[in-house]
Amino acid sequence: MTAQTESTTPERRENRVTAQTDSPFPESGGGWVVVVPVKPAAHGKSRLDVPGADRIALARAIALDTIAAAAACELVERVVVVTDDGSIPLNATDTPRLRFVPEGDAGGLDAAIAVGMAASTERMPRAALLGDLPALRPSHLAEALRAAASLPRAVVADAEGTGSTLVTASRGVSWESAFGDGSFARHVALGCVALAIPDASTLRRDVDTVEQLRAAVALGAGPRTTAVLGGAARTR
Annotated binding site: 180, 183
The secondary structure of the chain in percent helix, strand, coil, rounded to multiples of 5, reads 40, 15, 45
Look up residue 5 and give its amino acid: T
Q: How far is CA 221 from CA 86, 148, 235, in A?
A: 23, 25, 13
| Phi, psi (deg, nearest 5) at residue 98 | -105, 145
Query: 195, 157, 193: which is closest to 173 by C-alpha?
Result: 193
Q: How far apart are the first and last CA of the chain?
A: 26
Angle between the N-to-C axes of helices 138-148 and 55-71, in degrees from 0 to 180, rounded to the nearest 10: 60
Please enumerate, by residue number, every residue annotated as part of a binding site for phosphoenolpyruvate: 180, 183
